[in-house]
Amino acid sequence: MLVRFNSKLLETYDPDWEAKWDRAHAMMRELEVRDWSSLTAEEREQLDKLRRSLPVIFDASHRTANDYIRFHLSLTLKEADELGIWAWMPVLPDDADIDRTRAAIAEVSRYIETVKHRRSTFEMCRRAGLKPGYVGSQPKLTWYTRWAMLRFRLGRSARRRGK
């Protein structure tokens, strides 16, 4: 993993995340091996707490906001590409905090889900022979999204011309 020296670490980053993951995962596996009915109320509560803590511990492995975004959007963007939906990988400044990072991920995910929903609605109306009057245009985009789309389209057309 290449990290620039001037990049600011994400506030959720924990250099000891692997040890915490291993401990929590081992404890959870130890409890899961046993039959659910044989667990005490405290052990069930501990198991639920461990299941909730594992994603938080894993999120602590991401050093920068852009690493966090790349991990959390990789499968979403792959699915969007397979469906022919244009989507973008947000790039945040080095000093971005976790809230801003999560908001960027949510914006891209929400955009993709909205396009998928509108396509399926339009297709259902087409099959039924109805005019989908309530199916509007693409979702409302922020200035950053519009800028990212323009950069993507210009880059794509340049790549196509080069072939």
The count of domains in the chain is 2
88 & 126 share domain: yes
Residue 10 lies in a domain: no
pLDDT band at 3 (very low <50, low <70, confident <90, very high): very low
Asked if the model's pLDDT at residue 6 lies above 60, the reply is no
Q: Which tens digit of pLDDT belongs to each residue from 25-67?
A: 888 888 887 777 788 888 888 888 888 888 888 888 888 888 8
Enumerate helices (H) and strands (E) in the chain, giving the number of each: 5, 0
Domain of 77, in residue numbers: 65-131+138-162
Output 35-40 pairs: Cβ under 8 A, ≥24 positions apart: none
CB neighbour list of residue 72: distance below 8 Å, 6 or more residues apart: 105
Whether residues 87 and 150 fall in one domain: yes
